[in-house]
Structure 1
Amino acid sequence: MTATVHEVLDRRLLSISPAPIAVALSGGGDSLALTLMVADWATARGRSLLVLTVDHGLSAQSAAWTKSCAGTADRLGANFRGLAWEGGKPATGLPAAARAARHGLIADAARAAGAKVVLMGHTASDRLEAAAMRQEGASTPSPREWTPSPAWPQGRDLFLLRPMLSRTRAEIRTWLAERGETWIEDPANEDARFARARARASLTGDETDDVLPGPVLADLALATCDLAGGLAAPRTLLRRAPPAFLAAACLCAAGTSRPPRSDRLKRLADTLGGDTDFAATLAGARIEADQRDVRFLRDPGRAGLEPLSLAAGQAAVWDGRFEITTERHIAIQALAGHAARLSPASRSALQRLPAGGRGGLPFIRGEGSPVLAAISGVMARPLPLDRLRAACGLIDREPA
């Protein structure tokens, strides 16, 4: 088993890098086994290991579980960060909310430490559980070996690696027991109120799932991004693109993170399969198509363009679409209503952009838009195209 995991690490991670390798450790058997195997790999290559544990505050034992994880990290000579999901918890949809909070906390901590990849202990059994949940009507996707972080914008430029998807939960616990290791069993995993627990109970420990992730969508590298963060691709290309790409293009251009409903996504795919010009909205994006090209823009009618104030040395994400870094204090607001204050060169650049994408650009009060022109001490990086490439699998190993 160790050799299998190390083969995945060799394929996906850099042998030499100053960036730490982050691993999510809950203390359960799967994440414990992964942490032990990753620690061996990292030590042999001189790379540092960062162990991240999230206390969801949902069990009276959670503080003790975090302490146990800290002890494991100390035993392995790894750095440790205990993270807490604070605040009120929802009365419904608790598993999904906990998952979103966990990914957000882990993304923030990993980025702060300079990590590019977070390892997670999902297994073949998790894939089978997801399949069983889908059979019951859920939309739960199967975990894949390599994906971008689902937390947005906290998880920008951060990837998740799951190197144990070819092994079942039973095999992993046998491996741990042979080494005299003990692990935490969370009672919530057996709570029949939750769909995943019911799916888990329906599986046998000997089942396997060797389904591999879908192929890399290399031909979709033809997608382009304009200064307003709008994405474009040839319509002939999108006619053969899977629905997942259309969903990703909408989310990336809109700066949002909630996937569209499957029926609306299918309707968009069917319309793209025709030849008529059309415009539509989906997942916070506006889609404009003619016979040659399809453009994905932020829906100009959607709210959310709140003012943003940054101090010197800060970086933040504007509207989920632009990473703004500044060397001095600045105040940013939407460009809508302020275009007349731009320089002639910036107004000319603005006119070359789709009309629907102009008003949502970041505008520094009294200075102009850092997207349209160079502004001293301020850098604006459009995120949609990099995010789309990551979502499509065009980045398939740890960035240097």
Structure 2
Amino acid sequence: MTDALSAGVHAVLDRRLAAVSGAPLAVGLSGGGDSRALALIAADWAAAHGRRLLVLTIDHGLNPASAAWTAQCAALAARLGAPFHALAWTGDKPARGLPAAARLARHRLLAEAARGLGARVVLLGHTASDLAEAAAMRAEGSTTPSPREWAPSPVWPEGRGVFLLRPMLGVTRQALRDWLAARGEAWIDDPSNDDLRFARARARAARPEPTPAADLPQDLAGLAAAAQVDAAGVVALPRARLPARLTAAAALCAAGTARPPRADRLARVTTLLQAGRPLVATLAGARIETDGERVLFMREPGEFARRPEAALMLAPGQSAVWDGRFEITAARAAVVAPLAGHAARLPPAQRQALRAIAPKARAALPVLLDGAAAHCPLLEDVAGVAIRSLILDRLLAACGAVEREP
């Protein structure tokens, strides 16, 4: 019989996940009490619904015991009959900002593994205690966000199409440990959680009172649904009632970038937009300009067109994301680069079609370079080339318009 704690978590899984799906469901397992409880509860839910469960464990390489911890996670996965995938954070580790770097690496590894295995949702074991600690950290000046129950993966483009579900935000860490102990389950205690050099450990030691889970503003999804994205990737939004959060999301998505704009820059652009006067500005790699009652967001080519990473080498049949905005597949080997400097090499029909594109958006269009010729698959179909814009899907996911597993 399902107990009250499990039933509460199952209710969240019922609300957010597809009961019938051929896609596997991934769970992030560190071996700590929170993620162990989640793996056990999720395994019961998956078995009841005929869903395949995958277990993903990250070895950060930061503790001599990490290999043994990974082995314990593998043992639990075997007990649950779930395929196990150990993922390692390799390379040099920063001397400063280690927790943030580890978190970013963890999300990147989880997203890449999930997408590669066909999973669209990764379950994470954050609790009500994590919500309280994040709030306490922000009260001390940190910018740490509160974990959300349902959110797109925060890494881009590795996390495209992958969502995170935290179904235990209504349960405290102690309640989960009591639940595990009652079942004779043991868990790993990472000593870094008690290392007071880190803000998270200091917040945890203070035992802050649980706080309600924060969510996106209710009207954000509706406002984002009004967005129009043209073939060139230009995002158009109504100027009226354009909140700062949507402005930031539209800039990131139109630019294909991943680093959110600085708060002071965002506040300045938001104030200027609300003033109602004509505006041209840049934010998070995007050019923002007003067009009557609309605000247009497009890629700001700037220095980007001259950077080495602006050129993408595609192997035959390979799919890859170019500039964080377009997923491109080519039947033959190809080089994808910005249009800047190559417009004269386009075929006549594509040069004609280029006139329909906003002038300031043209330089950042993708072109395939082939000897003396250049071809833009956004202007005309190119044999053996498939291109898909990621911009609108990313914007809708970021603004909460996608509320459950597809």
Q: Which residue of 2 aligns with 1:89?
A: 93
Structure 1 position 312, deviation (Å): 2.0
Give CA deviations for 1:162-199 in whole Å, capped at 9, x if unaligned: 00001111111111111111000000011111111111
Code of the residue aligned with 2:395 in structure 1: it is: L
**Matches of 1:188 and 1:244, distance apart in 2:** 33
Residue 236 of structure 1 aligns to a residue whose secondary structure is coil
Distance 1:348 1:234, change over 3 A: farther
Whether 2:249 is the aligned partner of 1:248: answer yes
Residue 387 of structure 2 aligns to a residue whose secondary structure is strand
TM-score, structure 1 as length reference: 0.96
Residue 193 of structure 2 aligns to a residue whose secondary structure is helix
Paired residues of 1:276 and 1:290 also in contact (CA < 8 A): no
Detail structure 1 runs of 4+ shifted over 6 Å in the superposition.
none
- Aligned residue pairs, count: 394
Q: Which residue of 1 aligns with 2:211?
A: 209
**Matches of 1:328 and 1:112, distance apart in 2:** 22
Structure 1 position 348, deviation (Å): 2.6
Q: Which residue of 2 aligns with 1:156?
A: 160
Q: Which residue of 1 aligns with 2:188?
A: 184
Paired residues of 2:224 and 2:395 also in contact (CA < 8 A): no
Code of the residue aligned with 2:190 in structure 1: it is: D
Paired residues of 2:314 and 2:335 also in contact (CA < 8 A): yes
1:331-370 correspondence to structure 2 within 5 Å:
331-365=335-369, 366-370=373-377
**Matches of 2:391 and 2:341, distance apart in 1:** 24
Structure 1 position 212, deviation (Å): 4.3
Paired residues of 2:286 and 2:300 also in contact (CA < 8 A): yes
Whether 2:379 is the aligned partner of 1:372: answer yes
TM-score, structure 2 as length reference: 0.94
Code of the residue aligned with 1:311 in structure 2: it is: A
Identity of aligned residues (%): 59
Residue 264 of structure 2 aligns to a residue whose secondary structure is helix
Q: Which residue of 2 aligns with 1:271?
A: 272
**Matches of 1:372 and 1:185, distance apart in 2:** 56
Give CA deviations for 1:253-305 in whole Å, capped at 9, x if unaligned: 11111111112111111111111101111111111124411011111214245
Code of the residue aligned with 1:254 in structure 2: it is: A
Structure 1 position 231, deviation (Å): 0.9
Residue 100 of structure 2 aligns to a residue whose secondary structure is helix
Paired residues of 2:26 and 2:119 also in contact (CA < 8 A): yes
Paired residues of 1:276 and 1:291 also in contact (CA < 8 A): no
1:49-128 correspondence to structure 2 within 5 Å:
49-128=53-132
Paired residues of 2:347 and 2:374 also in contact (CA < 8 A): no
Residue 167 of structure 2 aligns to a residue whose secondary structure is coil
Paired residues of 2:131 and 2:212 also in contact (CA < 8 A): no
Give CA deviations for 1:122-171 in whole Å, capped at 9, x if unaligned: 11111111111111111111000000001110100110000000111111
**Matches of 1:192 and 1:289, distance apart in 2:** 48
**1:43 equivalent among 26, 47, 56:** 47
Paired residues of 1:220 and 1:237 also in contact (CA < 8 A): no
Paired residues of 1:311 and 1:328 also in contact (CA < 8 A): yes
Q: Which residue of 2 aligns with 1:397?
A: 404
Give CA deviations for 1:226-264 in whole Å, capped at 9, x if unaligned: 2221211111141xx2x2221111111111111111121
Structure 1 position 350, deviation (Å): 1.8
Paired residues of 1:100 and 1:151 also in contact (CA < 8 A): yes
Paired residues of 2:365 and 2:376 also in contact (CA < 8 A): yes
C-alpha RMSD over aligned residues: 1.3
Give CA deviations for 1:24-51 in whole Å, capped at 9, x if unaligned: 1000011111111000000111111110
Paired residues of 2:342 and 2:374 also in contact (CA < 8 A): no
Moved more, 299-308 or 133-142: 299-308
Q: Which residue of 1 aligns with 2:235?
A: 231
Distance 1:237 1:344, change over 3 A: farther
Code of the residue aligned with 2:168 in structure 1: it is: M
Give CA deviations for 1:348-371 in whole Å, capped at 9, x if unaligned: 322222222211111111350112
